[in-house]
Amino acid sequence: MNPPKKSPYLLQVVDVWHLTPNMIRVTLAGDAIATMQSGCEGANCKVFLPEAGQSQAAFGAQLMNGPRPTVRTYTVRHMRVEDREMDIDFVDHGDAGPASAWARAAKIGSFCGFAGPGPVKVPEFYADRYLVVADMSALPVAAATLEAMPRDAQGDAFFEVTHIDDAQDMNAPDGVRLHWLVHPDPHAPSTQLIDAVHAWNWPTGTVQTCIAGESGVIKALRSYVTGEKGLAKQDCYISGYWKMGLIEDEHQQMKRAEAAA
Ligand SMILES: Cc1cc2nc3c(=O)[nH]c(=O)nc-3n(C[C@H](O)[C@H](O)[C@H](O)COP(=O)(O)OP(=O)(O)OC[C@H]3O[C@@H](n4cnc5c(N)ncnc54)[C@H](O)[C@@H]3O)c2cc1C
């Protein structure tokens, strides 16, 4: 028998600001964070969203007893277990998505539910060259992965952001070159990241990747990296984080159907 599912934790917003024009950093706090693992930056988590105007007491009861609120997948950007705080970076893509809308409206004292974190995406570093590719939604996992790399790591990181001011300071090894590409309308398709990876001088030796972003782009990159270049599954973190025109639940359904096919 499966053990009963743990209820999500209720966390409070203790800080919120635009880190860059299209990225909102939300600092969440709560006693439950003291029970979590430090060093989980880059791991994904689930954020449960209250309805507009819902009281904290009503939302807390809903987290425990259901029905399940709207839930979205995010990345732990910073974890400070000792301070019982963590940061999550939300792409500000307008009010059409409940998570983006929640982050845009969040204030000190706002609240949400939290489940996770899961395992980190790139737990070991052993490559001769690294290839990191991210759009805005995957900047948190890319930043955490670059931070965790050995300081003598070498490679390239390609980022696509909505505005050049969305480029963030990255604590990357000196040998990993950072390339910032701008695509001003994230709702319109872009092939810049695909073109950049095709133009990358694929090295001999072991390559490890951390690649994530819009699903159509990721599909093309997966076919190139694992198909044409033959990269082994264990050397390759590559994941579609959102899909143009689909809400997250529809996107996840699509991923499950593709995996089963
Ligand atoms: C493992 C994992 C980790 C993730 N980590 C992060 C993270 O740290 N930060 C982050 O911002 N996102 C992250 N994402 C992506 C995030 O889950 C999706 O962007 C999600 O759809 C946002 O929910 P929403 O309620 O704002 O929009 P939804 O209700 O899901 O979608 C509403 C509309 O907005 C569009 N949309 C969704 N995301 C974007 C976007 N980024 N840019 C433009 N349009 C969009 C959809 O196509 C849809 O048309 C992660 C996804 C995964 C799978």
Quickly list DSSP for 172-241: --TEEEEEEEE-S-TTS---HHHHHHHHS-PPSS-EEEEEEEEHHHHHHHHIIIIIIS---GGGEEEEEE
State the residue for tokens 């969305």: 166
Closest ligand 1 atom to residue 75 Cα is: 8
Q: Which residue's alpha carbon is nearest to atom 37 within ligand 1?
A: 242
CA distance 246 to 261: 20
**What's the pLDDT band for 8 if we cut at 50, 70, 90?**
very high
What number is the average pLDDT over the span 82-97?
A: 97
| Predicted local confidence at residue 260, as pLDDT | 87
| Predicted local confidence at residue 7, as pLDDT | 83
| Predicted local confidence at residue 114, as pLDDT | 98
Q: What's domain 129-260's architecture?
A: 3-Layer(aba) Sandwich (3.40)
Which of 137, 211, 243, 247 is the best mutation target for the ligand 1 pocket, counting ligand atoms within 8 Å of the beta carbon and taking the most? 137
**Ligand 1 pocket list (CB less than 6 A):** 44, 72-75, 89-91, 93, 96-100, 136-137, 140, 186-187, 241-248
| Superfamily of 9-115 according to CATH | Translation factors (2.40.30.10)
What number is the average pLDDT over the span 77-91?
A: 98
Q: Which residue's alpha carbon is nearest to atom 38 within ligand 1?
A: 242
Q: Where does the chain hold its CATH 2.40.30.10 domain(s)?
A: 9-115
Residue 2 has pLDDT above 70, yes or no: no
Q: Which residue's alpha carbon is nearest to atom 49 within ligand 1?
A: 245
| Predicted local confidence at residue 6, as pLDDT | 77
Q: Where does the chain hold its CATH 3.40.50.80 domain(s)?
A: 129-260
